Amino acid sequence: MSLINQRFGEVDEDISSQISNLSSEDLESLVKALFDFKNLADLLSWLEKR
């Protein structure tokens, strides 16, 4: 979460909850994908696909 907050600012509780509920495999994928995200909308789009 600290990487996401650092990149996009404080995210809301809903987004934080979605990330907290990801499997270990999905968290690893998120960390890799995070470098390609240009904005918060990219993160939200990625989360919707999970």
What are the φ/ψ torsions at residue 19 (nearest 5 degrees)? -70, -40
Task: Return mean pLDDT, the chain.
Answer: 96
Structural domain total, the chain: 1
Distance CA 26, CA 29 (A): 5
Q: Say how many C-beta atoms besides its own lie within 10 A of residue 26's C-beta.
A: 15
pLDDT at residue 37 greater than cutoff 90: yes
Amino acid at 7: R
Distance CA 9, CA 11 (A): 6
Residue range of the domain that includes 27: 2-48
**pTM confidence score:** 0.87
pLDDT at residue 50 greater than cutoff 90: no
Q: What pLDDT does 27 receive?
A: 96
Percentage of the chain beyond pLDDT 70 is 100
Q: What is the mean pLDDT of residues 11-31?
A: 96
Do 3 and 30 touch, CB atoms closer than 8 A? no
